[in-house]
Chains A and B, each alone.
Chain A
Amino acid sequence: DGGITQSPKYLFRKEGQNVTLSCEQNLNHDAMYWYRQDPGQGLRLIYYSQIVNDFQKGDIAEGYSVSREKKESFPLTVTSAQKNPTAFYLCASSRGSSSGNTIYFGEGSWLTVV
C-alpha cells in the first residue's frame, strides 16, 4: 500500500532525553513536512523539506531537528531543548511544493514526557 508510515505510534520521553520520530513515505513525493498538534489547536509547522539534503524551519522549529538524506525518509528529533514536547506529531508529504499540491498526512505519533 502507498502511504506515509510514522513510528512509533506512542513514545514516552524522560526529561533531558532526545527522541527521534520516524517518517517514511512510498509515494515518491518530493516534499515532506512535520507538524505538531496540541489538544484543541490547529496544526503548526515545525520543519519542511522540498528536496533531498535540504530543509527549512517552520513556525516552531526551536528544540527540534531534522534530516533528509533520502527522498522517502524525514526523521524528526525532539531534543531536550524543547521545553514542552508533549503533543501529537504529524508527518506529511506532497508531490511538489507549489500551491495546490495535496498534502497527505501520516497517522501521527503521540509523544509524552514522563
Chain B
Amino acid sequence: DAGVIQSPRHEVTEMGQEVTLRCKPISGHDYLFWYRQTMMRGLELLIYFNNNVPIDDSGMPEDRFSAKMPNASFSTLKIQPSEPRDSAVYFCASRRGAGNTIYFGEGSWLTVV
C-alpha cells in the first residue's frame, strides 16, 4: 500500500511568495494531520481534519497559514505570504478512524530566504 504522499519534498522560495504544500493520505484513512518540525519548537500540530472537516486548528500560527481538505484524498497547507521563520519541515499524517496508529509522510522541507 502507498503511504502518505507529500509534495513537494523540497522547496526554496523567497520571502513574500505563496507556498502550497500538498498531501495525499493513505486510502481509507479519514483523519489527516499537518505537523511542523523545527529545531526550536520540535514537532507541533498545526491542524487536523476528520472526514474533511477541521477538528482542531489551534496550532495554526497566524492568518498567513491556511489548510483545506476538499476531498478525502487531498489536502493543502498554504502559506501566504511566506516568511523566513516559516522555514521548517512540514509533515502530513493520516489515521483510520477508530484505529490507533498515525502514519507520517516523508515531509516537505521548506526554506524561505
**Physical interaction between A and B:** no
Binding site for B on A (CB under 8 A): none
